[in-house]
Chains A and B, each alone.
Chain A
């Protein structure tokens, strides 16, 4: 018995053998005629399997402690900056941190940050079961309890609406064309945003089913009863053009309106003055635009904003541009002209211009050369051997 067990142990130890700790089994002469082998065991056996443990769990007390520390730290920071701790907002915190810890890193998320722990530590579910191991929620064993409970909630609302409909029909006051919830100017929450709310992962099909159910609720008459509930899951879209900065319309000595605007593309900078009641003369850097941009493509770029708005022969343009090459200078001037045009044009036209892409600054820049490659993308000649 002892011999066989010892052999088993030796076998097991031999199976997991590699480099690492050396094990010597010393045996008494009487029991074994088997040779003594050096058995190596890898140290990986002794380390914990980190990946299997899952994401790090923070307890509620830990989070509370972090919140306390954050609040105290905020007051300290306010004192340091010489401002009132009571009225120290998050923006002031960001500003102070950027001042105290200046960073040249390009990646904004890598810079020093001091935010409320709720924004830093990922949201986690509290423990879902009691001390005896019984789960609190009745849908725990579905695996996606928040999602299914949400679906049940929506269905409950649908039943409520149907009950209301029946009541109205009984009274004889049923009208099919009641106030519908206005859906324009908002969109459904995205799958990622839903996951954030539910604090659990849902699949694409689950998300689609939820949207279908919500839309079915919205298609029923009298759904305005549950308007507040549904609007929780819709995000309002802001009209982009309201963010547009329109340059001020100025008037010169003779009363002629003009506006000034800048434009940039790659490293070319342009500054344009758009003068009303002109005849279509364009002067760039003191020379005629026909001389400055001999290539047709550049002149087409200049023409695009004016042609789009339909005011081709109305303006005189005078401007200066510097830097970069011919195509970028043309792009910079085009952006400057579009921006200057905003002050002569109505809001609907502004939205159209934005959708046409006239007001977007082209973000493309020369890509960085990487080490180990010839240029940004070109690799060295690949040799098989």
Chain B
């Protein structure tokens, strides 16, 4: 904690110098800086933390270092978006530090170079279980947020295909099923994340919910969202309507408003084309097609709109009826999903390399997370490397009880 506050105080003086320092910087440069600042902190700071808080400026020089997510951003951008274990870590450490990794840097560089007047590109983050796909996605989303994009974040699509207590037949289309609880929750998060957009975007069409309720054309999007939040019965249809509006209006400049870019981020995208564990009333298995939320989300995955990007990550842990060893897109998406998602840009996320492992280890030491005295020694570090094989989530679970 003290280190963090010190870094905040030091940042204006030190940032310029640190921006040009690379990891392979010689001791002389560090000593020159150290003359001005206390000697211990810069060495540690430069090894596993970076003072560069803006994801736009992250580059390979920062690879392997932790940057802090500002608390306000965490509250707004990720009300329920962060992976659960990472959320627990944020609460424990009182700060949300994300490691800058090559996969996220690659994604951000693609986003920077993409042409937004053309249909959106689909990016799929894939990799072994626990290698950091969800967090890389969150890092990229943070970049989009700082750039002022409209964020459409589905934290885990698997939550929509399993463990739903309430399922109602849809009012709009009788063959489909609604999930009011999940839809309302998602709308609430959406509202928190994109508050400043809600008043600017207007509806293009009249939506009728029931005999007495309807939303007129030209009303702000916020009203639509409120409608969905207040009336749970029609929330799934509201979600569909919101997605449609955003699809139509992203990248298309209407009079009096500036162009906004849309980031569609879905974690666990293989849920859209997998199996469900939900049952219909006649006890047969429900297809994902028959769920309103999934149906609308699939429409978003198509590239018939422009002015944004589709960022997705695969997930085996939440997937249904998929073998544990499957991690490639073709295995997890299935034939149908692969055909629909093609063409896409695959981004591979692998485990920590030596430098990243080193900085993760130093971070845990700094946060006093590794309590066991043996873990501070060299042999302890070798044991950690062996037992976790440099897999981020396994390492995290291992260190949790040390």
Q: Which residues of A contact B (CB under 8 A)?
A: 280, 287-291, 294, 296, 299-300, 302-303, 306-307, 310, 312-313
**Nearest 4 interchain pairs by C-beta:** A290-B389, A312-B382, A303-B386, A299-B387
B345-402 contacts to A, CB under 8 A, are 379, 382-383, 385-389, 391, 394, 398
Give the CA-CA distance A291 to B128 in the complex, in Å.
9
Q: How far is the CA of A198 from the CA of B324 in the complex (A)?
A: 68
For B163, the chain A residues whose CB sits under 8 A away are none
Q: Which residues of B contact A312 (CB under 8 A)?
A: 379, 382-383, 385-386
* In contact, A280 and B385 (Cβ under 8 angstroms): yes
Q: How far is the CB of B385 from chain A (nearest CB, A)?
A: 7
Beta-carbon contacts under 8 Å, B110-137 to A: 128
A287 CA to B128 CA, complexed, in Å: 12
Chain B CB within 10 A, most for which of A289, A302, A312: A312
Q: Are A288 and B389 in contact, CB atoms less than 8 angstroms apart?
A: yes
Cβ–Cβ contact A280 & B386, under 8 A: yes
Complex CA gap A302/B383 in Å reads 11
Contact status of A303 and B398, CB under 8 A, knowing A289-B389, A290-B389, A291-B325: no
> How far is it, in angstroms, between the C-alpha of A288 and the C-alpha of B391 when the chains are bound?
12
Whether A290 lies near B325 (C-beta < 8 A) is no
Query: Which of A289, A291, A300, A313 is within 8 Å of B385, CB to CB?
Result: A313
Contacts of A300 in B (CB 8 A): 387
- Closest chain-A Cβ to B247's Cβ sits at a distance in Å of 39
Tally chain B residues at the interface, Cβ within 8 Å: 14
Q: Indicate if the CB atoms of B391 and A307 lie closer than 8 Å.
A: no
User: A309 → chain B, closest Cβ, in Å?
Assistant: 12
12 contacts between A and B (CB under 8 A): A289-B389, A290-B389, A291-B325, A299-B387, A303-B386, A306-B386, A312-B379, A312-B382, A312-B383, A312-B385, A313-B382, A313-B386
Residue of chain A at shortest CB distance from B129: A291
* Residues of B close to A288: CB separation below 8 A: 389
Cβ-defined contact, A287 with B398, below 8 A: no
Residues on the A chain within 8 Å of B398, using CB: 296
For B324, B388, B389, the residue with the greatest tally of chain A CB atoms inside 10 Å of its CB is B389
Return A95 CB to nearest CB of chain B, in Å: 48
Given the complex of chains A and B, what is the CA–CA distance between A128 and B382 in angstroms?
A: 72
In the complex, A240 Cα to B15 Cα: how many Å? 65
Say what secondary structure dominates the interface of chain B: helix
Seen from chain B, the residues whose Cβ lies within 8 Å of a Cβ on chain A are 128, 324-325, 379, 382-383, 385-389, 391, 394, 398
CB distance from B401 to the nearest CB of A (A): 10
B234 to chain A, nearest CB (A): 44
Of all chain B residues, the one with the shortest Cβ separation from A290 is B389
B386 and A299: CB pair below 8 A? Answer: yes
User: B374: shortest Cβ distance to chain A, in Å?
Assistant: 11
Q: In angstroms, how far is the closest chain A Cβ from the Cβ of B381? A: 10
> Which single member of A287, A291, A296, A313 contacts B387 (CB below 8 Å)?
A296
CB distance from A51 to the nearest CB of B (A): 64
Q: Once the chains bind, are A303 and B387 in contact (CB under 8 Å)?
A: yes
Contacts of A291 in B (CB 8 A): 128, 324-325
Besides A291-B128, A296-B398, 13 other CB < 8 A contacts? Answer: A287-B325, A296-B387, A299-B386, A299-B387, A300-B387, A303-B386, A303-B387, A307-B383, A310-B379, A312-B385, A312-B386, A313-B382, A313-B385
Contacts of A280 in B (CB 8 A): 385-386
Contacts of A310 in B (CB 8 A): 379
Q: Which residues of A contact B391 (CB under 8 A)?
A: 290
A291 nearest in chain B by CB position: B325
- Residues of chain A within 8 A (CB-CB) of B379 are 307, 310, 312
Chain B residues with Cβ under 8 A from A296's Cβ?
387, 398
Closest to A307 in B: B383
CA distance A294 to B317 in the complex (A): 13
Nearest neighbor of A306 in chain B, beta-carbon distance: B386
Q: How far is the CB of B338 from chain A (nearest CB, A)?
A: 23
Question: Which residues from chain B contact A313 at a C-beta distance below 8 Å?
Answer: 382, 385-386
Which A-chain residue is minimally distant from B394 (CB atoms)? A290
A280 to B385, CA, bound (A): 9
The docked-state distance in angstroms from the alpha carbon of A85 to that of B303 is: 95
Which among A302, A307, A310 has the highest number of chain B CB atoms within 10 Å?
A307
Collect the chain B residues with CB atoms within 8 Å of residue A290's CB: 388-389, 391, 394
Complex Cα–Cα for A198 and B386 (A): 58
Q: B356 to chain A: closest CB distance in Å?
A: 15
Nearest CB on B from A216, distance (A) = 48
Distance (Å) between the CB of B240 and the closest chain A CB? 39
In the complex, which residue of chain B has the Cβ closest to the Cβ of A300?
A: B387
Residue of A nearest to B398 (CB): A296
Give min CB distance, A291 to chain B, whole Å.
6
B31 to chain A, nearest CB (A): 31
> Min CB distance, A315 to chain B, in Å?
11
Give the docked Cα–Cα distance between A280 and B386 (Å). Answer: 7
Closest to A302 in B: B386
CB distance from A297 to the nearest CB of B (A): 10
Contacts of B382 in A (CB 8 A): 307, 312-313
Of all chain A residues, which has the CB nearest B354?
Answer: A279
| B325 partner residues in chain A, CB cutoff 8 A | 287, 291
* B375: min CB distance to chain A, Å: 14
Given contacts A291-B325, A296-B398, contact A303 B383 (CB under 8 A): yes
* In the complex, chain A residues whose CB is within 8 Å of the CB of B324: 291, 294
